[in-house]
């Protein structure tokens, strides 16, 4: 892997200034870092999976109609084909088949992370007491966090070969250590 974390972070900030998008990038990064341990090859995958989470939507603010074309091209220019492919596959409208565990995990974690963050923001105690059953209830309510693509969540979980309850618990647990940084602690 030739792309280091600091360079990836600089690229994100060069194209993204919206605080909500930056929080989403950071949240998916945190989840993908843990996903490397659970669904990938552990420490050997950690850096690539972390960067995939951080950069998956990096071009969305500036070029929403072209997303993720620009970040995919940038990643390929950096020699990061594996990450570029995963970012391509996470955007299901492109119909790129997720092949690797990285591709499947990014698809399974991205939208679910967004939904869980939304759940935390409406709870007085945030993520501290959030349980999978509450997330699944909100998953069924299509008016809640309406932009979250529920089909992508289901597809990602299916591709990973895991149970929805277990994956929801995994994402909650991956986000808990970042509650203060990501403003998920409640009481705001």
Residue 94 has a pLDDT of 67
pLDDT of 106-153, one tens digit each? 999 999 999 999 999 999 999 999 999 999 999 999 999 999 999 999
Q: What is the pLDDT of residue 24?
A: 96
88, two tokens: 């391509």
**Is 161 domain-assigned?**
yes
Those residues with Cβ within 8 angstroms of residue 181's Cβ, 6 or more apart along the chain or in another chain:
26
Give every CB contact of residue 70 below 8 A, 6+ residues apart in sequence: 15, 58, 59, 62, 63
Q: Is residue 183 part of a domain?
A: no
Q: What is the DSSP letter of 1?
A: -
Query: Does 36 map to a domain?
Result: yes
For the purposes of burial, counting CB atoms within 10 Å of the CB of 81, is it exposed (0-12), middle (13-18) or buried (19 or more)?
Answer: exposed
Domain count along the chain: 1
Q: What is the pLDDT of residue 187?
A: 63
Is the residue at 185 inside a domain? no
- Let me know if residue 139 belongs to a domain: yes
Range of the domain at 37: 5-178
Under a CB-based contact definition with an 8 Å cutoff, are residues 57 and 109 in contact? Answer: no
Is position 186 within any domain?
no
184 part of a folded domain: no
Q: In whole angstroms, what is the distance from residue 56 CA to residue 149 CA?
A: 15
Burial of 85 (0-12, 13-18, 19+ CB in 10 A): buried
Q: List the chain residues with pLDDT less than 70.
A: 92, 94, 187-188
pTM check: above 0.85: yes
Instruction: Give the pair of three-digit tokens for residue 95.
Output: 């119909």
Q: Which residue is listed with tokens 């994100």? A: 12
């Amino acid at each position: 892997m030739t792309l280091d974390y600091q360079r990836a972070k600089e690229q994100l900030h060069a194209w993204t200034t919206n605080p909500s998008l930056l929080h989403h990038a950071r949240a998916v990064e945190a989840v993908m870092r843990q996903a490397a341990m659970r669904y990938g090859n552990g420490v050997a995958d950690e850096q690539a999976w972390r960067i995939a989470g951080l950069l998956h939507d990096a071009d969305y603010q500036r070029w929403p109609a072209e997303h993720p074309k620009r970040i995919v091209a940038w990643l390929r220019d950096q020699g990061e084909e594996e990450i570029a492919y995963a970012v391509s596959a996470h955007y299901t409208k492109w119909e790129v088949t997720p092949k690797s565990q990285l591709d499947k995990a990014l698809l399974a974690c991205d939208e679910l992370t967004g939904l869980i963050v939304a759940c935390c923001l409406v709870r007085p105690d945030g993520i501290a007491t959030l349980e999978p059953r509450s997330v699944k209830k909100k998953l069924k309510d299509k008016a809640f966090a309406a932009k979250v693509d529920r089909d992508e969540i289901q597809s990602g979980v299916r591709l990973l070969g895991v149970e929805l309850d277990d994956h929801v618990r995994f994402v909650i647990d991956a986000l808990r250590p970042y509650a203060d940084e990501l403003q998920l602690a409640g009481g705001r």
